[in-house]
A = this chain, B = another copy of it.
Amino acid sequence: MAFRDFPDYRAVARLNALAECPHDLTAPDGLTVERITALRASSCGFDLLYATQRVSDEVMDALQALADEAGLVETFRAMKGGAVLNRIEGFDSENRQVLHTASRDVFAEPPAAPEASARARAELDKLRAFLHDLNRGRLVNAQGKPFTTMVQVGIGGSDLGPRALYLALKAHAVEGRSARFIANVDPDDAAEVLQGLDLSRTLVNIVSKSGTTLETLTNERLVCAALERAGLDPARHLVAVTGEGSPMDDPSRYLRSFHMFDSIGGRYSATSMVGAVTLGFALGMEAVLEILRGAHQMDLAAEEPDIRRNLPLLMALLGIWNHNFLGCRTVAVLPYSQALSRFPAHLQQCDMESNGKSVTRRGEPVRWLTGPVVWGEPGTNGQHAFYQLIHQGTEVVPVEFIGFRRSQYGEDIEVYGTSSQQKLVANMLAQSLALAAGKRDANPNRAFPGNRPNSVLIAERLTPRTMGALLALYEHRIAFQGFCWNINSFDQEGVQLGKVLATQLLAIMADTSLDRSGAGEAGSVAAGLLHRAGML
């Protein structure tokens, strides 16, 4: 594959010209029934309504041309097949395959990357056996009682995706089972989680790909100390998920050990054992398989070359239109589903860590915008919080709405003639239209400029399968954008410097202990660090 720079595509010049005068959603015929009906795409149970984006047929054609010129779908297929896409040409880099899709390609015969999928199958078999032992009462605590809680200890990719998925699907939990999460090195995080638990009935799942993550190892020790204080043997309560051959890959210390692989980046690892062990404990094996099936279905759908029929590719290109051509600097992901409350936090990692880059795949500085800031909170809550700025602020914020026609628990009430779920969906659609169409008013403070681009992603109900598809949809939207920007979306060198400096600062602290008398001292310590780090 010959990767080209973003401005070198002919379609980019065409799109720049079209961006001079984007579709006006506030015009009298800016948003018609025909438009709403036509600008709609469907896949894996999701419909994407994008009439409220500032696109015309010409823009859509140019975006298609961009996708074709840049070979986005070909690169995606190559990724699934095991191409070494995690690299920077000509420089030292991770040099790895990118095979999170192999975790769910276990249903295909043959899979696109047979070796990786075989490894994924082997881990699934270990998980099935583990859950079986728990369900049959073969794996119990010292008193012979079943475990009721699994605490996942991990951070970043070993926390955000699994946590978002657990919260999303908690309504489907196995009776008597639940999960909790500890991530932060802040000791109050662990203290708060542990204080409410019956530790004798708790399994602790330590998750670190490298087996060296400072926060996770520290919290493992903290949890072990709590277990010991409660008179419990950590070895009977801990399981581990780690890379093969990592310092944590020591089955003698854990009840069970599961593996993750170099070809799966942390932020893409929710469908590997990183997510599957805790989700399997709390939701059951079948729910895990359903998540994988949903993701697998979306993995297949992402190979469609027609942008109007490929949801992840379409969302990627609409995002590029808003970001690189219309100049919007952030993206808000606003799920109208309380269960998806932490999905935006997962996407912050998945998107910003993937595409917050400044050099190309050849190591040259980029001369175009790469990944935007991604943020969001569930609606309708956000309507009573930051929507003021989205409607009337000086910053145009593209919005990706996500919603479902039915609730999870089914405990609803009709007030003023409609159910809560209807109110939820009605509010989402109303916001989409309000942002797009705006409103004139003689009182300037009550006028709405409109033309605020957004799209609505809607499915029937949030189930394990829908969740898997949604997760994969965003993974691929992010990857397609990274391909298009000619960056490596799969490394994270930008996290290194802070780590190195923190380690040096801690070395100073270990000698002198943190001076508690004032920030002046903290300042000197920091300055000392700067000095020792050779930066003064």
Contacts and interface: CB of A to CB of B under 8 A. Distances in A.
Interface centre among A218, A373, A388, A518 (most CB of B within 10 A): A388
Contact of A427 (B51, B449, B502): B502
A88 B441 CA distance: 15
Contacts of A365: 444
Interface in A389-405: 389-395, 397, 405
A157 to B, nearest CB: 7
A180 to B, nearest CB: 13
A55 B487 CA distance: 32
Contact of A218 (B185, B339, B358, B423): B423
A199 to B, nearest CB: 14
Given A380-B184, A494-B448, A416 B40 contact: no
Contact of A421 (B187, B267, B388, B510): B187
A454 to B, nearest CB: 12
Contacts of A374: 386
Interface residues of A, number: 165
Contacts of A415: 217-218, 221
Nearest to A357: B392
Contacts of A395: 329, 356, 369, 371-373
Contacts of A387: 353, 494-495, 498
A337 B188 contact: yes
Interface centre among A31, A337, A386, A424 (most CB of B within 10 A): A386
A413 B494 contact: no
Given A31-B535, A445-B491, 17 more contacts: A36-B527, A37-B520, A92-B443, A185-B424, A187-B411, A187-B413, A191-B409, A349-B385, A352-B385, A356-B392, A356-B394, A391-B494, A405-B514, A429-B505, A439-B535, A445-B488, A456-B519
A495 B186 contact: no
Contacts of A40: 519-520, 523
Contact of A446 (B186, B373, B496): B496
Interface string A152-178: 000111011000000000110000000
A412 interface: yes
A445 B88 contact: yes
A426 B506 contact: yes
B388 A353 contact: yes
A246 interface: no
Contact of A383 (B189, B413, B495, B506): B495
A376 B102 CA distance: 32
B391 A497 contact: yes
Interface stretch (A247-255, A277-285, A430-438): A430-438
A188 B408 contact: yes
